[in-house]
Amino acid sequence: MSDKVYYFETLKFLDKRKKLKEAISIAHPNFALVKYWGKNDTEENQPAMSSVSVTIDSLISKTKISENSSSKDLKWSLNGREQNDLNRILPTINYLSNLYGTKDNIQIESNNNFPTAAGLASSASGIASLVTAFERYYDLQLPIEEKIKACMLGSGSAPRSLLGGFVLMDHLDHFRCSQILERTEWQLNILVCITSAQEKIISSRQAMEISRKTSPHYGKWLDINSSHIRQAIRFIKAKDLLGLGRVSEENCDFMHKVINSSVPSITYKNRMTEMCIETVKQLRERGHQLFYTVDAGPQVKIICEQKTSKIIKDAILRQTIVPQIIDASIGMPPQSL
């Protein structure tokens, strides 16, 4: 069948498809234990390395897609505010619309139940919930490879939010995302310490390009990736929290060294971030099993055993001046409501 005939056959099929009046989907953010920082390709938004993440449950991005009867334009609101700049979602929407011949006027309403753009991976969960809502709205069965591609165009860390539990995104295998462990197989707690709800000083997208071009440690950062990935997978499969903590903290510290050594230098941590990290180390010296990780923002995520989570939370609140700690555990894949 020629490409043209195939295209019209596809359109005929799409004409008959069931389009819902509206679709609502939710997705959770994920945070990386072996991190992505730097791209191979800025057009396709492709990470230059593999990453390992965990999806978390209490934080939620919700996206509603419905028909936009009042205008021909694509409309997008985020947390109740209409957005003039659609660049964050357009590559994803255009990719899916071109692929499936869906050219309707739609409006998209996104909401997060946690601070946006504050280093809590709101773009990952936002984009994953958008792709899931798009699939639902047009009643499509998107192949996972297409969902990964569509998510990645929006955010390099977003494909990982398509799965629950512990997730590997393999840059040597077309960014295939696979689950290392299901959330029920290793039930841990996550304490999300919100040291500041302000938006980050510079987006990770801009900052990672500066790091790639200027940090003297960027080459070494690429080199250590495969060893950190191998170790993290081994420790997750063995459910070895201290082992996973060692490699994860080393990876996190290295990423922040790359960020700090960029020209101009960039710093995402604040004084309270450092206080939380110090307290995590002290608690570990006292025999508790826990570790920290920090992304492109000042928040600290603490991963610990469920049985000691309360003791750890109380100690952090007592010894630091963190205004808010969100209790979470390991999350599920996106869902349509």
Q: List residues binding ligand DP6 (CB under 6 A).
A: 32, 35-37, 45, 51, 121, 123-124, 155-157, 204-205, 295-296
Instruction: Give the residue with the Cβ less far from ligand DP6, 36 or 235.
Output: 36
Instruction: Give the residue with the Cβ less far from ligand DP6, 106 or 167.
Output: 167
When CB distances to ligand DP6 are compared, the closest residue is 156
What minimum distance in Å lies between the beta carbon of 203 and ligand DP6? 7
Instruction: Give the residue with the Cβ less far from ligand DP6, 26 or 118.
Output: 118
List, in order, residues 6 or more apart from 98 with CB less than 8 Å away: none
What minimum distance in Å lies between the beta carbon of 232 and ligand DP6? 12
Instruction: Give the residue with the Cβ less far from ligand DP6, 138 or 254.
Output: 254
Give 56's DSSP letter.
B
Neighbours of 272 (CB within 10 A): 19
Give 308's DSSP letter.
G
What minimum distance in Å lies between the beta carbon of 304 and ligand DP6? 20
Comparing CA positions, the residue from 292, 297, 300, 293 lying closest to residue 266 is: 297
What minimum distance in Å lies between the beta carbon of 123 and ligand DP6? 5
Helices (H) and strands (E) in the chain — how many of each?
9, 16
Instruction: Give the residue with the Cβ less far from ligand DP6, 40 or 113.
Output: 40
Instruction: Give the residue with the Cβ less far from ligand DP6, 249 or 295.
Output: 295
Q: How far apart are CA 309 and CA 292, in angstroms?
A: 13
- The residue ranges of DSSP E strands in the chain, in sequence order, are 22-27, 30-34, 39-41, 46-47, 51-55, 61-67, 75-78, 81-82, 106-112, 166-170, 176-181, 188-194, 290-293, 300-305, 324-329, 335-336
What minimum distance in Å lies between the beta carbon of 295 and ligand DP6? 4
What minimum distance in Å lies between the beta carbon of 44 and ligand DP6? 11
Bridge pairing between strands 106-112 and 75-78: parallel
Instruction: Give the residue with the Cβ less far from ligand DP6, 24 or 255.
Output: 255
**Radius of gyration of the CA atoms of the chain, in A:** 20
- End-to-end alpha carbon distance in the chain: 38
CA distances from 121 to 2, 25, 66, 204, 238 (A): 42, 17, 25, 10, 27
Collapse the DSSP code of 231 into the 3-class scheme (helix H, G, I; strand E, B; otherwise coil) and give the result.
helix
What minimum distance in Å lies between the beta carbon of 95 and ligand DP6? 15
Instruction: Give the residue with the Cβ less far from ligand DP6, 17 or 220.
Output: 220
Q: How far apart are CA 136 and CA 33, in angstroms?
A: 30
What minimum distance in Å lies between the beta carbon of 265 and ligand DP6? 16
